[in-house]
Chain A
């Protein structure tokens, strides 16, 4: 099974900050990686698929990069609506999620 490890688990930041979340796979997953945003009481929202492709309607301040085993999600300028929990997901072999990164207000 492919394990996904996110860091950090919690991130404190201010509006306007540049934020980076890292996701590591236990083995190479090429670029078969997605990122989701999750807010309390709401369904997860797909932000990015295939490592760097922005889902329709997602603001351009979100971007993704990486390949193989190391990936990043970057929010270029954090907005009030972005305080949430973010999950990475590999879909190279079945589907596995990272444990999540909570982005909270500093």
Chain B
């Protein structure tokens, strides 16, 4: 069974940093692209960042470019999101999601349950 479990969320002050993790199981992690998607309270879904299966392609939404860094460790079946210079508008539930095919553009076929990030003083 495919499972994606996010962790690392919490309360952080504006300007602070946080590192999210996503532990994958039930599939060959290194064969799939991964993304982070977030949903702010009362808002819709927003794609945040993408990483290809062997790190060749990495993309970011303009809203987080220069502040967030996506990475993965295929040996540990884990995806990460390093978030720096956090702002109030980064407050959201963050989801990791698996790309349906190992191409650099596809729908997301499995999602985790999410981890809440709150940026507030």
Contacts and interface: CB of A to CB of B under 8 A. Distances in A.
A17 interface: no
Interface string A1-45: 100000000000000000000000000000010101000001111
A49 B107 contact: yes
Interface in B100-114: 100, 105-114
A96 B107 CA distance: 11
Q: Tell me what chain B mostly uses at the interface: helix, strand, loop, or mixed.
A: strand
B73 interface: no
A83 interface: no
A89 interface: yes
B111 A96 contact: no
Most chain A CB within 10 A, of B59, B107, B113, is at: B107
Contact of B61 (A50, A89, A94): A94
A79 B97 CA distance: 27
B100 A49 contact: yes
B109 A46 contact: yes
A43 B46 contact: no
Give the bracket for the number of chain A residues in contact with chain B: 20 to 34
Contacts, number: 57
B7 to A, nearest CB: 15
A69 interface: no
Task: Provide the main secondary structure of the chain A interface.
Answer: loop
A71 interface: no
B61 A34 contact: no
B100 A92 contact: no
Contacts of B59: 94
Given A32-B105, A49-B106, A99 B44 contact: yes
B107 A46 contact: yes
Contact of A97 (B46, B111, B114): B46
A95 B62 CA distance: 12
A94 B46 CA distance: 11
A46 B47 contact: no
Interface of B: 35, 37, 44-47, 50, 59, 61-62, 95, 97, 100, 105-114
